[in-house]
Amino acid sequence: MTSRAHNPAARWTFCHLCHHRGYHSRADARAVRRRHPGEKGLAVFVCPHTTGLFHLGHRPDALSNGQIDRHLLRHQAVRTAEGHNR
């Protein structure tokens, strides 16, 4: 096994629709999140475009405030991706 096998930060692929790094497991994304202790509000979320990828990012303020829910957020991401594919 190579050293990359034990380093979750090295196991990712780029999602061209989200423009984020995509981790192949939620556990890998969480392990990378723990490496950024000073960053407040980082969340692990499922890629709306690619099955089996997880992203790491800041939660939208509207989601934290309850103005939108996760269903609406995912719907907007999918709709945006469909617009980019045209």
The DSSP code sequence of 57-79 is EEPPHHHHTTSS-HHHHHHHHHH
β partners of residue 23: 12, 54
Task: Give the model's pLDDT for residue 71.
Answer: 80
Task: Quote the pLDDT of residue 81.
Answer: 61
Domain boundaries, the chain: 3-84
* The overall pTM is greater than 0.75: no
For each of the chain's 86 residues, which pLDDT tens digit applies?
455 566 777 888 898 888 888 999 989 999 988 887 777 778 888 887 788 889 888 777 777 777 877 788 777 766 766 665 55
- pLDDT given for residue 45 in this prediction: 83
In 1-86, which ranges are continuous DSSP H helix? 26-34, 61-64, 70-84
